[in-house]
Structure 1
Amino acid sequence: MIPLRDANPSRRKPIVTVIIIILNLFIFLFQTSLPPDIARQFIKTFGFIPYRFTYDLFKGYSIKVWLTPIFTSMFLHGSWMHLISNMWALWLFGDNVEDRLGHFKFLVFYLLSGFAAAMTHYIFNFNSPVVTIGASGAISGVMGAYFIMFPFARIITLVPVFGLPLFVRIPSIIYIGFWFLSQVSNGILTLFGPIFGFGIAWWAHIGGFLFGVFVANKVKKPIFY
């Protein structure tokens, strides 16, 4: 299923959402312009590595040193497909959540969602030397907030049926709910070994989503369509 757009107009321009998308694109273009060896070092320096986080924490490094990669990692991506899929989801769901929260609160919420996602990933992978990058944890928080705030907003979705395109208007409570269940099921599989992880930080998605649900329940009542 490929989400195309939502039938949920916003009142204000999603300024922060657009700025985040542009910033991610700019950083990715810079990243891809680097020589391969330098690009790999760039990712290792600004990506989130659970083992390094543990090492820095217990070695008494400053808060700035061991917290910085958590936030910088959510602006890095491993490929064009990784970037486009994340930014498309942010564009699809971010405008309405930003509209409800306001620009500044949305920015803070986005960053804290990424932080919650990284911490959840860390809990299940505290000794992992594998670098984690991407905005999907923060965007999962946005999806969690959307899930609560706009449960019956329709998501126009492309569903291939026997090779033919079928466009379906799916309530967000079903579309996002199904997406979240897929993250949980894959996250549980990773508990049986890294072979089931497919290189995706499933628990980061789960943590970010639950944080978004928690915040949305605290600040806004849902809108019904």
Structure 2
Amino acid sequence: MVIPVHDVNPARRTPFVTYALIGANVLVFLATPGVAASLVGESSLTQLCQLQAFLDEWAAVPREMLHDRTPTVVPTGDVAVGPQGPGCVVGPPDYDKSPPLSVLTAMFLHGSWLHLLGNMLFLLIFGNNIEDRLGHVRYLLFYVVCGYAAAYAFALVNATSGDPLIGASGAIAGVLGAYLVLYPKARVWVLVPFLIFLPLRLPAWLVLGFWFGLQAVYSSGAGVSEAGTVAYLAHVAGFVAGMLLAWPLRPGTPPPPEPRGLLWGRQARPRQTWRPR
């Protein structure tokens, strides 16, 4: 797996929406119950029950999305001791949940720091150029539409699943798909783990094509031991949705600048030409 760190594709305008999305994701993550414990890898039963109750209220659940029905009994966030030992208390929900709206709120929820930082890195690198091409308002609508397409595609294939679906990955995958369509020849600096992290400047079509290929393979369950813990199918669906939405804009998109004389991030000295006197 390659790690992108920078693209050679400057934007003309400040990506205010991309920055706002990153800020909102970070703030929501910090407000999620149990985040403090995740920093040290320890969580109490109370924190786990509170997290489960939080996700049941705000995360998207496939069977709820497709049938527009919510359960009558949910975790309350409290802990009680029963015959089987301590556990999470369940009871009637004290909130009204809208399954379609939960798809939107789920886009700002993340399960770990690694999950959050990985998503925000891709959004920061590739989102600014898509926002620059679409404009602020259209970019925000594009982001949300890709997120919904990814979530409902996953739900259709997992119609009976009661597991919460969280993360901005589907929407960000749409951004990556649009970038592949609009800027396939843009150069992207990546770190390739080969004994050490080797920096390389690769074309976007290779970086993003490789990423999409991995998601497609993983979505089939191949190459992963726990395919059900990550919604790889949502990544695939979001990517394809982004490609389709961006395709009509392809003819009018100016090509990215072609970097010249760059060698490992530094300006290479021009080769000296010797002329006979």
Instruction: Please point out which of 99, 102, 106 is paired with 1:69.
Output: 102
More strand by share: 2
For the residues of structure 1 that align with 2:177 and 2:4, how far apart are their CA atoms? 16
For the residues of structure 2 that align with 1:196 and 1:181, how far apart are their CA atoms? 18
For the residues of structure 2 that align with 1:114 and 1:54, how far apart are their CA atoms? 16
For the residues of structure 2 that align with 1:171 and 1:197, how far apart are their CA atoms? 29
> Which stretch of structure 1 is more off in the superposition, 8-17 or 43-52?
43-52
Q: Which runs of 4+ in 1 moved over 3 A?
A: 32-35
Instruction: Please point out which of 174, 189, 198 is paired with 1:166.
Output: 198
Deviation at 1:198, TM superposition (A): 4.9
For the residues of structure 1 that align with 2:152 and 2:248, how far apart are their CA atoms? 21
Q: What CA deviation, in whole Å up to 9, does each residue of 1:128-169 have, x standing for no partner? A: 1111100000000000000001001111011122x2231111
For the residues of structure 1 that align with 2:101 and 2:228, how far apart are their CA atoms? 26
Q: What CA deviation, in whole Å up to 9, does each residue of 1:46-98 have, x standing for no partner? A: 11111222342699xxxx82211111100000011110000111001000000
For residue 51 of structure 2, what is the amino acid of its counterpart? Answer: A
For the residues of structure 2 that align with 1:16 and 1:220, how far apart are their CA atoms? 22
Q: How does 1:199-214 map to 2 (within 5 A)?
A: 199-214=229-244
The answer to whether the 8 Å contact 1:186/1:196 transfers is no
SS of the aligned residue for 1:78 comes to coil
The answer to whether the 8 Å contact 2:192/2:198 transfers is yes
Partner of residue 180, structure 2? 147
Q: 1:110 to 1:158 in 2, by over 3 A?
A: same
For the residues of structure 2 that align with 1:155 and 1:139, how far apart are their CA atoms? 17
For residue 52 of structure 2, what is the amino acid of its counterpart? Answer: R
For residue 7 of structure 1, what is the amino acid of its counterpart? Answer: V
For the residues of structure 2 that align with 1:74 and 1:92, how far apart are their CA atoms? 18
The answer to whether the 8 Å contact 1:8/1:96 transfers is yes
Q: How does 1:13-52 map to 2 (within 5 A)?
A: 13-32=14-33, 36=47, 37-52=49-64
Partner of residue 12, structure 1? 13
The answer to whether the 8 Å contact 1:147/1:176 transfers is yes
Partner of residue 54, structure 1? 66
Q: How does 1:62-211 map to 2 (within 5 A)?
A: 65-161=98-194, 163-189=195-221, 196-211=226-241
Normalized against structure 1, the TM-score is what?
A: 0.90
For residue 248 of structure 2, what is the amino acid of its counterpart? Answer: K
> Between the two proteins, what is the percent identity of the paired residues?
38
Partner of residue 4, structure 2? 3
More helix by share: 1
2:245 paired with 1:215: yes
Deviation at 1:216, TM superposition (A): 0.6
> Which of structures 1 and 2 has the larger relative contact order (alpha carbons within 8 angstroms, sep 6+)?
1
For the residues of structure 2 that align with 1:143 and 1:217, how far apart are their CA atoms? 13
Deviation at 1:175, TM superposition (A): 0.7
For the residues of structure 2 that align with 1:203 and 1:118, how far apart are their CA atoms? 9
Normalized against structure 2, the TM-score is what?
A: 0.74
**Coordinate RMSD, CA, aligned:** 2.1
SS of the aligned residue for 1:217 comes to helix
For the residues of structure 1 that align with 2:69 and 2:213, how far apart are their CA atoms? 33
> Which structure 2 segments of 5+ residues have no match?
36-45, 72-96, 259-277
For residue 73 of structure 1, what is the amino acid of its counterpart? Answer: A
> Which has more radius of gyration?
2
For the residues of structure 1 that align with 2:182 and 2:208, how far apart are their CA atoms? 12
For the residues of structure 2 that align with 1:47 and 1:165, how far apart are their CA atoms? 36
Deviation at 1:195, TM superposition (A): 6.0
> Which structure 1 segments of 5+ residues have no match?
none
The answer to whether the 8 Å contact 2:66/2:156 transfers is no
